[in-house]
Amino acid sequence: MDKFSSHTGIGAPLRRSNVDTDQIIPAVYLKRVTRTGFEDGLFAAWRNDPEFVLNQDAYKNATVLVAGPDFGTGSSREHAVWALQNYGFKVVISARFADIFRGNSGKAGLLAAQVEETVVEALWDYLDANPGAEISIDLETRTITAGEISEPFQIDDYTRWRLLEGLDDIGITLGHADQIDAYEATRPAFKPVTS
């Protein structure tokens, strides 16, 4: 995973709440066996609408998505994170993220920055007044800056550290292999096996 310390890019206002994973990428687009190419399915149902935010010239190259509350609810598909990343997004800002989506983002290197709902409203208003304007996100200081707006965002310490260092989770865990061995030796005999 690449290290992530800060990012500045065009912000896109997605004025919707409860953007579920089927809206981020419908199931029919999940058939690929790679981690790339999912941008074609991103917000598939809305991309036909010329009014949709990503179809407007000012936001086409957006890298920071500012979304309504309860973003990423529903399925566990990490494809939702990949589709956002494949399109070019580096950061999603919302007042509430679904747990699995937040977890998947941290693993895949997409920054899910949680803010107060009033901050989302302020960013939406700012972007509407300044289409194509940039938003800066500093993971070191956990700060979002856009024009006159400067607000803190929340991310758990561990995910922040992993993103800053660009660490591979599996590598970290395999460093504790002796503890896994020790645990396995204590498992009760009645636990089932699949073989």
Quick note: the x/- pattern for another protein over 80-119, rule CB under 8 A, is -x--------------x-xxx--xx--xx-----------
One DSSP character per residue, 36-93 reads S-GGGGTTHHHHT-TTSGGGSGGGTT--EEEE-SSBTBS---THHHHHHHHHT--EEE
Structure tokens at 178: 């002796």
Residues 10-49 binding another protein (CB under 8 A) are 16-18, 20, 22-23, 26-28, 30-35, 44-45
The neighbouring-strand residues paired with 177 are: none
Q: Which amino acid is at 105?
A: S
Interaction between residue 55 and another protein (CB under 8 A):
no
Number of residues near another protein (by CB under 8 A): 59
Pick from 41, 64, 70, 84 the residue near another protein by CB under 8 A.
Answer: 70
Considering the complex, state which of residue 10 and residue 53 has its C-beta at the smaller distance from another protein: 53
For 45, phi then psi, to 5°, come to -65, -25
C-alpha to C-alpha distance for 136 and 8, rounded to whole angstroms: 4
Q: Which of 64, 76, 62, 85 is nearest to 21 (CA)?
A: 76
Which one of 5-13, 55-63, 73-81, 132-140 is the stretch in contact with another protein (CB under 8 A)? Answer: 73-81
Shortest distance (Å) from residue 61 CB to another protein: 26
Contact 164, 5 (CB under 8 A): yes
Residues that bind another protein (CB under 8 A): 16-18, 20, 22-23, 26-28, 30-35, 44-45, 68-70, 73-79, 81, 96, 98-100, 103-104, 107-108, 156-158, 169-170, 172-174, 176-177, 179-180, 183-184, 187-195
